[in-house]
A and B are shown apart, each in its own frame.
Chain A
Amino acid sequence: MDVLFDGFVDAVELLLSGDEDSWTIIALTLRVSLTATAIALLVGLPLGAIVALARFPGRRVLLAAANTGMGMPPVVVGLFVTVLLWRSGPLGGLGLLYTPTAMIVAQAAIATPVVIALVAAALQQVDPDFRVQMQALGANRVRAFAALLGEARLPLFAGTMAAFGAVVSEVGAAQMVGGNLVGQTRVLTTAAVLATSRGQFSLAIAFGLILLLIAFGVNLSLTLVQQQRAVPR
C-alpha cells in the first residue's frame, strides 16, 4: 500500500515541480487525444447522422459494423496502422511511424466508430415527430438538422466523452505506432507502462493519477456545457 501513497506524493510533486519531461508528456497526451477526438467527431458526426436518418440498403449492417468497432481492441488498430506506415508499407514514404501524427491517426480510427454508433443512437432516440414538426414549421433541412442536434445534445456530449475516454486511456496503439520515444511520442499511458517495467511503481502510479486528473478535467468541462439548461430550474 505504501506504493499507492508514494505514487500520490510523486504525482503532486511532478505537477508542482514543473518537471519539463512530465509536462511534455502531459501536453502530448492532451494534444494527441483531443485532436483524435476532434477528427473522430468531424468524420463520425455526418456518418452517424446518415446511418441514423437516411434510408438505404445495408444501413443496418453499417450500424452493426460501427457497433462492433466500438469494441475494437486498440492494439489491433495499432497493428493495422503500423503495417500501413511501415517503410515497406503503402504509406511508408510519409515517414510517419513513431510520430505524434501516427498516434493521432490510430486514435482517431479507434474513436470514430464510437462516435458513429453513439451519434446514430442519439439522433434516433429523438421522437420522429420532431422532424416532421420542424418541417411543418417551415424549417429547411439544415435548420431542421441543427435543431435535431440541439434536441439530442445530451447523448451527443456523452458520445464525445466516451470517444475521448476510449483514446486517452488506451496504451496498445499508442505504444505500437508511437514507440514511446522520450520527448516525442511518450504519453501518460505508455510512460506508466515503462515505469512499471522498470520497477518504478510509485512513478507509474503518479502517471496514472495525473491521467485520471486530466480525463476528469476534460470531462468536467464537457459535462458543464452539457448540463447547461439540462435540468429545468
Chain B
Amino acid sequence: MRRGILIGIAWIVAVLLAGCGTAPSAGGPSASASAASAAPAEKSLILATTTSTQDSGLLDELLPVFTRESGWQVKTVAVGSGQAIELGRRGEADALLVHSPEAEEKFVAEGSAGARRLVMHNDFVLLGPKADPAGVRGTSSADAMKKIANAEAVFVSRGDESGTHAKEKGLWSQAGVTPGGSWYQSTGQGMGATLRVAGEKAGYTLSDRATYLTQRDSLELEVLSEGDPGLLNVYHVIEMTQKAGGRVRADGAKAFADWMVAPATQRLIGEFGRAKFGQPLFTPDAGKDEAKLGE
C-alpha cells in the first residue's frame, strides 16, 4: 500500500519535474522571449506575410537586421495574401507584406489600414514538365492558359486565396477560361508544397520566381512561359492602425514599414540570392512609380 502511494507520487513528480526542469535549460532566447511576449508593452509586432517571403528565405535574412537596429521583435505569420489581409482587417497583425495589389487596394480603401508603400517586385513564371504536353513553351501567358485548358493537361493551383492564386485566377479570366474538371487540381497549400505536387504530378503551375529558384534543383519543372508585363509580382508593405483594433501596435508597424523602404534595406533585398542563384530573387522598388515597373 505504501509502495502504491510512493509510486503514484513519484510518477506525478517525475513528469512535473521533467516538464519544468527543462524550462531553464531552454536557454536565454526562448525564456526571455516568452517573458517578452507576455507583456504587451514590450516592443513586439506581428507581421502577416506571404509564404513566398518565408519559403524563399528572404525574411530570415532581413528580420534579424531589423530587430538588431530597431529593437522590435517581429512575429511572422506566413500565410497567403488573402489571409494576411484578413488578419490585418481584424487587427490581429500590425504590418502586412503582401502581393495581391487589387485586394490590397480594396482593403486600404476600407480605411482601417495606414500607408501602403511599394517595396519590391519579381515576376511570376508558368512552370510545367519538360515534355510540355499542352505545348505552351514560349507562348504568352494568356495563350498558355488557353492551351492548357484545351488539352486538359494537369494544372496545380494554390487554391488558397494567396497573391499567387489571385494572379492565376486573373490569367484564367484573361484567357476566357473557367478552369474546372479533374485536370484542375487545387492544393490549398503554400508555394513550396504546391511546387512539389506539380512536380510529382508532372503538371503545370504558376509560381513566383523566388520560390521556384530556391527549390529548382529538387524539382522536375521548367519555366515555360515568362516575361509578360501581366506576370509582374509586386510586393507592398501596409501599416495597420488602431482603427483595425485597439491592440494594434501602430508604432511598430510604422517602424517596420519605414525600415523596409529605407535605402540600406533595399540594398539588402537587391543582393538577396545573388550569390547563391546568380541572380537576385527580388528587385527593390521603394519610391518608384508602380505603373512603370518592368519596363
Residue ranges of A at the interface with B (Cβ–Cβ < 8 Å)? 23-24, 27-28, 30-31, 34-39, 41-42, 45, 86-88, 92-96, 98-101, 134, 139, 143, 146-151, 153, 156-157, 160, 179-184, 194, 196-199, 201, 218, 225
Contact A99 B218 (CB under 8 A): no
Contact B15 A34 (CB under 8 A): yes
Contact A88 B92 (CB under 8 A): yes
Residue ranges of B at the interface with A (Cβ–Cβ < 8 Å)? 1, 3-5, 7-8, 10-12, 14-16, 18-20, 22-23, 25-27, 29-30, 33-34, 37-40, 46, 51, 54-55, 57, 60, 75-78, 90-92, 189-193, 195-196, 214-215, 217-219, 245-248
Chain A residues with Cβ under 8 A from B29's Cβ? 24, 183-184
**Can you identify 11 A-B contacts, CB atoms within 8 angstroms?**
A23-B27, A34-B18, A35-B20, A37-B19, A95-B39, A95-B247, A98-B75, A153-B4, A197-B192, A197-B193, A199-B215
Chain B residues with Cβ under 8 A from A225's Cβ? 10-11, 14
Contact B22 A30 (CB under 8 A): yes
Contact B4 A149 (CB under 8 A): yes
Name which residue of chain B comes closest to A27, CB basis.
B26
* Contacts beyond the supplied A92-B247, A147-B1, A197-B191: 7 A-B pairs with Cβ under 8 Å: A35-B23, A42-B16, A88-B90, A95-B38, A184-B33, A199-B215, A225-B10
Q: A27-B26, A143-B5, A149-B4 are in contact. Are A198 and B75 (CB under 8 A)?
A: no
Chain A residues with Cβ under 8 A from B3's Cβ? 150
Name which residue of chain A comes closest to B42, CB basis.
A95
Q: A27-B27, A146-B1, A225-B10 are in contact. Are A160 and B215 (CB under 8 A)?
A: no
Name which residue of chain B comes closest to A156, CB basis.
B11
Min CB distance A232 to B, Å, is: 15
Min CB distance B187 to A, Å, is: 11
Bound CA span A160–B214, Å: 42
Contact B193 A146 (CB under 8 A): no
Contact B4 A88 (CB under 8 A): no
Chain A residues with Cβ under 8 A from B217's Cβ? 199
